Amino acid sequence: MQDGTFLRICDYIFVLRPLILIPAWSLYLIGAGEAIRRSSQSAALFPSPRVFICLTAILITAYLLNQIFDRESDERNRKCFYLSQGIFGVRTLLVLSLGFYLVASFTFRRLDEPHRIPLIAALILSLTYSLPPFRLCARPFLDLLANAVGFGGIAFILGYGLFFNDLMESAQLSLPYVLLVAATFLHTTVLDVEGDRETGKISTSVRIGIGPSKLVALVLHGFAVAAAISWSTTLAIVITATTLPFTAYALKSTDRRMSSVQAQAATLIVTLGAVLLWPVYIAILLPLVILSRYYHQRRFGIIYPGLRKNS
């Protein structure tokens, strides 16, 4: 296969933004692992591939729509180059988003009733996050809430509900992750403040400023540790406690790149927690990360995931 053809295939893979699926995937798996630990059921090789596919299709639909409706701010923030560099057109992304919406709908109809409730919530958030007139991504504090609940709450609750059908308990156990995701999300918006402000996108960090955003992130992260200790969930304690120093250092540092370090550290440690519970997960992650490094360097001249421009 010629290199150009291979890169074109990779275009269709990475326009779906699979690497930012990893936090939701990981928290889904952590929720399933936590439920197995508390129940008498034996662990499967991988928890409900059908539910996993449905969740993935819903999130991909959201990411494609976000690229369409956030294309101006993404261009200013030098990310998601697919539209700005003409690799894909808006029509193509709309067709892809519709296709993944249909995949999600087809899979959804074959799921049991308890699994449908969090997936409906995920779909509502996915559509209202970017689509006007809702545009939660451009509404201060609602953007924060949508990300925290969507990634930290719904994904965990969905995994937990596969083995232990107790919505209130799963919501309680998800709280440390909801707060951790909220803290991490604030650091991702810190990185985009200038571009968002220039295009009129009012994120939480645009509204309250960079310094206050980092401070709020640290407070939320501290509450995440406290919640994990309160619910006596060992894995949540380890994850929130080991990521806390990154959030604290990002507040102290004047280097904006430390917000990127915080986000990547949180993602990495949550992912390692999921791999510990479900070792087969590494078979999805490792090829994806390796391919991503190759593809982004060849296509855009950047190291991704990474912090610096490839010279």
Q: What is the pLDDT of residues 10-32, one digit of tens each?
A: 999 999 999 999 999 999 999 99
Confidence of residue 256 (pLDDT cuts 50, 70, 90): confident
For domain 7-300, the question of CATH label 1.10.600 is answered with: yes
- What are 302's strand-pairing partners? 309
User: Quick one: 82 exposed, middle or buried, by C-beta within 10 A (0-12, 13-18, 19+)?
Assistant: buried
CB-facing half-sphere around the CA of 248: CA atoms within 13 A: 7
Q: Taking residues 127-134, report their average pLDDT.
A: 92
- % of the chain residues with pLDDT over 70: 96
Amino acid at residue number 119: L
Whole-prediction pTM = 0.93
- Reported as a single tens digit per residue, the pLDDT across 85-109 is 889 999 999 999 999 999 999 999 8
- pLDDT tens track for 186-226: 999 999 998 899 888 999 999 999 999 999 999 999 999 99
Both tokens assigned to 83: 């539209």
